[in-house]
Structure 1
Amino acid sequence: MSPFEALYGKSYRTPLCWSEVRERVLLGPEIIDETTQNVQVIKSNLKAAQDRQKSLADRHTTDRVYKVGNWVFLKLSQWRGVVRFGKKGKLSPTFIRPYQITERVGEVACRLALPSKLAKLHNVFHECMLHHYVADPLHVIPPQPLEINPDLTYDKEPVTMLDWKKKVLRNKTVRLVKVLWRNHSVEKAT
């Protein structure tokens, strides 16, 4: 069946036969008047549906106001298979670290102060690619002192065991332990 028939439960009729089959025969100006009335009803129904969809969409939108000096996250476009910032595919970050807005370019574009590492990128972005950064003192991680040996290496010392499990092989069972090392974050535990 057609999508119209699946949605409304009856088959679609062309403007030439709005009435039921064998009900009556329209000739002359009567068919034009009836077709015009039906077109007006369809237009009003479409307008009502569009207004309803717009009101639902407008509930989720906010007006973004970015000023010079604000800090914003930069949104990356999600390209499949492109490695960005150490992650690939769907594990790649959506937004990257906060950058400061240096100037407004037009009504909907901002110039960001990008580091030299991102010098190949154009530094003007549309507002839809930005997200407000709310500064929080808890976001700043204080650096920990690192004791470096004369040969420019440092000693790895285990701090704690984060997790353990037993891996069963064919003939034996091996115990695996996840260790948190000093001067490393939880993500770098091995």
Structure 2
Amino acid sequence: MARFEALYGRRCRSPVGWFEAGESSILGPKIIHEALQNIRVIRDRLATTYSRRKLYAYNRKGPVEFDVGYQRVGEVAYELALPVELASVHPVFHVSILKKCLGDPAWILPVEGLGVGEYLSYEEVPVEILDRQV
């Protein structure tokens, strides 16, 4: 069976490539039945593949809604109510950056103890020299 026929469910309009070189057999009902069975199998497998791809593609897509502590600015932007420590950060974010958080409040670290500067930068301090070359 040709790839075109398997993909589109019909034969190619051009007669070139319908038959292999040297092929001269008469098509009987058995061969036609086998070809139809192959086409059904291929279509079923393609439908399974398309449905699986659709499931994975649309798994994370769809309308994203946030309610507590958020204010919708546009269709794809939200303004966050940030704490005073993060006053230097712009409060409007795109929806693709925001993610639903189901974390434990005990994991939240204070910004003061981390050594973060005014512009949310920090100084890197080496702890240990692992290798030396002369």
User: Under TM normalisation by the shorter chain, which class is it?
Assistant: 0.3 to 0.5
- TM-score, normalising length: structure 2: 0.39
Higher strand share: 1
TM-score (norm 1): 0.31
